[in-house]
Amino acid sequence: MIHQLVSNSRFWRAALMTICAIAAAMTVSLPAEQLRAASGVTHFKLKNGMEVVVIPDHRVPVVTHMVWYRVGAADEPRGVSGIAHFLEHLMFKGTEKISPGEFSKIVARNGGEDNAFTGHDATSYFQRVAKDRLPLLMEMEADRMVNLRLLEKDVVTERKVILEERRSRVENDPSNILGEQMNAALYQSHPYGIPILGWEHEMRALDRKKAIDFYKRYYAPNNAILIVAGDVTADEAKKLAENTYGKVKPNTDRIRDARPIEPPHRAPIRLNLEDPRAGRATVQRFYLAPSYSNAEPGEAEALDLMMKVLSSGSTSRMYKSLVVEQKKAASAGGWYSGTGLDSGRLGVYAVASNGVEIADVEKAMDEVIAEFIEKGATQKELDRARNSYIASHIYGGDSQSSLARRYGWGLVNGRTIADIEQWPERLEKITIDDLQRVAKKYFDMNQSVTGVLRPVETKNAGAKKAGHGKQKS
Amino acid sequence: MIHQLVSNSRFWRAALMTICAIAAAMTVSLPAEQLRAASGVTHFKLKNGMEVVVIPDHRVPVVTHMVWYRVGAADEPRGVSGIAHFLEHLMFKGTEKISPGEFSKIVARNGGEDNAFTGHDATSYFQRVAKDRLPLLMEMEADRMVNLRLLEKDVVTERKVILEERRSRVENDPSNILGEQMNAALYQSHPYGIPILGWEHEMRALDRKKAIDFYKRYYAPNNAILIVAGDVTADEAKKLAENTYGKVKPNTDRIRDARPIEPPHRAPIRLNLEDPRAGRATVQRFYLAPSYSNAEPGEAEALDLMMKVLSSGSTSRMYKSLVVEQKKAASAGGWYSGTGLDSGRLGVYAVASNGVEIADVEKAMDEVIAEFIEKGATQKELDRARNSYIASHIYGGDSQSSLARRYGWGLVNGRTIADIEQWPERLEKITIDDLQRVAKKYFDMNQSVTGVLRPVETKNAGAKKAGHGKQKS
């Protein structure tokens, strides 16, 4: 099924980007009339509370249609992990009007493509079709927003699919096993520590009732954002939306609970995973950091730029030092994940070169970070990083689907249209002092989890189980 | 106030014993008539569902009266940590009939003493008084089961008390800070990872409404167990109970949710805490293990005996090797915490001798464990451990209050009267092979968290924050 193709990007997005503001930030208050940004993007609400964003792009007669629900894996009840993602799969099972499995086929028959993904904070469904098929799509998507029909047999079959998805993505890949464990250690209280795919034993217990309960609580027009990008005017889109989504009743119940706030961590945490399937020894580290939604003004922008200078690509400090100069690492880098409602993360990693002890690689990685904290970035580095981001922002503006995702992500994560569009201007204000300041503030070992993965052969069961006298740092 | 005196034992019980079966095990099905064990202990239910256990002890005209609620910190809503313990404090604030703070004073004026504590799975209130005061006590305890009156000002004051309790017990003691962090890492999904006292930022947000909501859901006769030990017959106690507790209406709502099952851990976890207030460097390790409630038959008994041989007291393997023979440690030991509804823990620890690196101490500790896994215990060691436990069981039977606690703990943790009384017989069946088997099975580094505490001076803020290039294993 087509929606599974999406899972690829879905998982990585989940793992790398979706870890992340205050529930209060989730309700955007909009005036009754539509707001039109200088970019031509229009933002308004239907009477039932559904938000609509229209992004004009009249170059080709094509539209990208997305519906974003303000619900994700971090909203799952305790012990029911994986239900948000499972429901995303089940949303393709049909309604009174659409037979099970037909949704994607209808889209394909109409020359379109469709897709979906689940994050910790949002679940999104999207399609790309010729402009004249937009009314059909909107009708279908509005239909499955509240009329989902789940047959027991389809639920049972799809549960096998998600278990297989977990097996192939996590269980087959020791670095993902380690990443999952690191996240669980990084978030001791907040549900971002629970994998989006779910814990296997809880996934096995997911059933029709749990899916329906979750669906009935969270899938409603007043908890959704419609993004239409493409060859359509705001007025056309509004009329179509009113005739489809506009007819769906809002859910008057309380929709989303605030998530618990992660308590301060007091000590660095380390995990060691030895797995014969691992390639070269790898060290990675996550640090708790704020996200765009809850950072002090300018901090998230500074974190993005700082990590770009420090760790992104072959011209970064990390790569140049560890890979090019010292040749200790085969690869090295890092990232800042600043989406997310409640928290962000910094990540750094390095893969050992042949014959180099991973402890030496970690030491070299830490020296690069320590030097950055001490001396900061040069203006040239900052300018290059900033230009690179601004260029991507502009290039991204050229792609209908990336624009649609940009606005969708921004809104579900508590941002406004202005926030999203003024990002380049905010980047312009960041100084090298800001970079050094956020590095000093957020490279805090006490708020970190370090994971080391080593390709060690499995020992005999007893010794392996115990492993006493064998632990390494 | 008297109930705070209990907090001492409360905290340690919480930290060392209360970490831990299946919610289903919580409803004990009892026949309508009372069951009388060979020990003379009687167990029955009142019509409203309240369980009653009467333990006869006619040596002195004194009774121990306890009420146990099947609710604890592991039942708290997400983000409301500490509410079970806070409510325990607030239970001393009074009712329509009893003025705020009067409860303990009335008990004292009647020559008695009272106390209370909160665990992850249970909350208990107890008093010891002259036999003729038992009707008064039962009336008072039944009254506050449902008639608690909380004034806003008392709630605000008591919140300061629990925050101070946290400050003095946790924040003032780096080993408790580390223990709290280790528990949080040991339970990545199950709420046993959340401290009983609560996370400080969540404690600050506890209020009257949260306390009342928790109280109304969980404090009800059908969620409580009354233990009366002392100079009273089952018939007398039953009549008194019917006239007091028996008049309280049961709560017909669903009472307790099942807790999530902890997912399998895949890699050893380590935490390093450096604190200038720490004494000598210390290493401690927790391993996930089953509890009496969810272990395979005989395993929990074998774990108790195994840990006794390995690590309890100055004749244990651990102490003899690390302290007496190698002189690497100033102290060393371990424990098995097997109470708890959902999980148990094994713990081992060692305090470094002057001049000895903590890594060496840990290595020595691991060697003792590895040797035990390889060679097991001797029959003589097993016999000594067993005799010690059986003797304690018998001596404990001589103390009214320890008997009352034994039955209370057993029942709230899903055991039956027979389970509790037949413990010595089950210990008799354990063999040295069982000890070796459970050691091999549960000393699994992948299910462990190791914490190292070092008395390192605080560095300057920047370096400390970052700590890069400085981490030790």
> From the CA of A417, how many Å to the nearest CA of chain B?
31
Predicted confidence at residue A473, as pLDDT, reads 40
Q: Which of A81, A188, A467 sits opposite B185 (nearest CB)?
A: A188
Q: Which of A268, A465, A466 sits opposite B272 (nearest CB)?
A: A268
> What is the rounded distance in angstroms from the CA atom of residue A105 to the CA atom of residue A469?
58
Predicted confidence at residue A26, as pLDDT, reads 35
**CB of B466 closer than 8 Å to CB of A373:** yes
- Residue B162: name the closest of B113, B195, B125 by CA: B195
Cβ–Cβ gap B79/A261 under 8 Å: yes
> What is the rounded distance in angstroms from the CA atom of residue B205 to the CA atom of residue B215?
17
Q: How confident is the model at residue B56 (pLDDT cuts 50, 70, 90)?
A: very high
The DSSP annotation for B355-418 comes to T--HHHHHHHHHHHHHHHHHH---HHHHHHHHHHHHHHHHHHTT-HHHHHHHHHHHHHTT--HH
Predicted confidence at residue B13, as pLDDT, reads 33
Predicted confidence at residue B30, as pLDDT, reads 53
DSSP secondary structure letter of residue A359? H
Cβ–Cβ gap A468/B270 under 8 Å: no
Cα angle A328, A330, A335 (rounded to 5 degrees) comes to 100
Dihedral of alpha carbons A354, A358, A359, A363, sign: positive
**pLDDT tens by residue, B431-471:** 999 999 999 999 999 999 999 999 986 554 444 444 464 44
> From the CA of B180, how many Å to the nearest CA of chain A?
9
Show residues of chain B in contact with A454, CB under 8 Å. Answer: none
Q: Which of A263, A267, A441 sits opposite B273 (nearest CB)?
A: A267
Predicted confidence at residue B458, as pLDDT, reads 54
Show residues of chain A in contact with B193, CB under 8 Å. Answer: 188-189
Helix ranges (DSSP H) in A320-467: 358-375, 379-396, 400-412, 417-421, 423-428, 432-442, 461-466
Cβ–Cβ gap A445/B79 under 8 Å: no
Per-residue pLDDT of chain A (473 residues; tens, 9 = 90+): 233 222 333 333 333 332 222 222 333 455 556 677 778 999 999 999 999 999 999 999 999 999 999 999 999 999 999 999 999 999 999 999 999 889 999 999 999 999 999 999 999 999 999 999 999 999 999 999 999 999 999 999 999 999 999 999 999 999 999 999 999 999 999 999 999 999 999 999 999 999 999 999 999 999 999 999 999 999 999 999 999 999 999 998 778 889 999 999 999 999 999 999 998 999 999 999 999 999 999 999 999 999 999 999 999 999 999 999 999 999 999 999 999 999 999 999 999 999 999 999 999 999 999 999 999 999 999 999 999 999 999 998 889 999 999 999 999 999 999 999 999 999 999 999 999 999 999 999 999 999 999 998 655 444 444 446 444 44
Cβ–Cβ gap A178/B267 under 8 Å: yes
Cα A221 off chain centre by: 22
Cβ–Cβ gap B373/A188 under 8 Å: no
Start-end of CATH 3.30.830.10 domains in chain A: 2-247, 269-466
**pLDDT tens by residue, B324-346:** 999 999 999 999 999 999 999 99
Tokens for B147, please give them.
């008639």
What is the value of pTM for the model shown? 0.86
Dihedral of alpha carbons A66, A67, A69, A74, sign: negative
Predicted confidence at residue A459, as pLDDT, reads 52
Give the domain A269-466 fold: Cytochrome Bc1 Complex; Chain A, domain 1 (3.30.830)
For chain A, the 3-state helix, strand and coil shares in percent, each to the nearest 5, are 45, 15, 35
Edge-first strand order for the sheet with B344-352 is: A329-337, A344-352, A282-289, A448-454, A269-274, B269-274, B448-454, B282-289, B344-352, B329-337
Confidence check: pLDDT of B14 > 80: no
Predicted confidence at residue B138, as pLDDT, reads 97
**B141 given a catalytic annotation:** no
Predicted confidence at residue A376, as pLDDT, reads 97
> From the CA of B285, how many Å to the nearest CA of chain A?
12
Cβ–Cβ gap A468/B367 under 8 Å: yes
Q: How confident is the model at residue B39 (pLDDT cuts 50, 70, 90)?
A: confident
Strand-pair category, A224-230 with A51-56: parallel
Q: Assign residue A40 a region: left if phi > 0, alpha if psi is -120 to 50, beta otherwise?
A: left
> From the CA of A269, how many Å to the nearest CA of chain B?
5
Predicted confidence at residue A398, as pLDDT, reads 87
Tokens for A150, please give them.
């789940």
Q: Assign residue B62 a region: left if phi > 0, alpha if psi is -120 to 50, beta otherwise?
A: beta
Nearest chain B residue to A188 by CA distance is: B184
> What is the rounded distance in angstroms from the CA atom of residue B154 to the CA atom of residue B140?
20
Determine the residue type at A134. L
* Average pLDDT of span B244-252: 95
Confidence check: pLDDT of B11 > 60: no
The DSSP annotation for A87-145 comes to HHHHTTS-BSSS-TTHHHHHHHHTT-EEEEEE-SS-EEEEEEEEGGGHHHHHHHHHHHH
Confidence check: pLDDT of B21 > 70: no
Residue A161: exposure state from Cβ atoms within 10 A (0-12, 13-18, ≥19): middle
Show residues of chain A in contact with B469, CB under 8 Å. Answer: 363, 366-367, 370
- Tell me which of 3.40.50.1000, 3.30.70.20, 3.30.830.10, 1.10.287.180 is the CATH number of domain A2-247: 3.30.830.10
The residue with tokens 């800070």 is: B177
Tokens for B169, please give them.
């017990």
Predicted confidence at residue B429, as pLDDT, reads 97
The residue annotated as part of the active site, out of B33, B51, B76, B88, is B88
Cβ–Cβ gap B261/A202 under 8 Å: yes
Predicted confidence at residue A469, as pLDDT, reads 46
**pLDDT tens by residue, B118-131:** 999 999 999 999 99
What is the complex's ipTM, to 2 decimals?
0.81
Cα A355 off chain centre by: 35
Tokens for A286, please give them.
């996550």
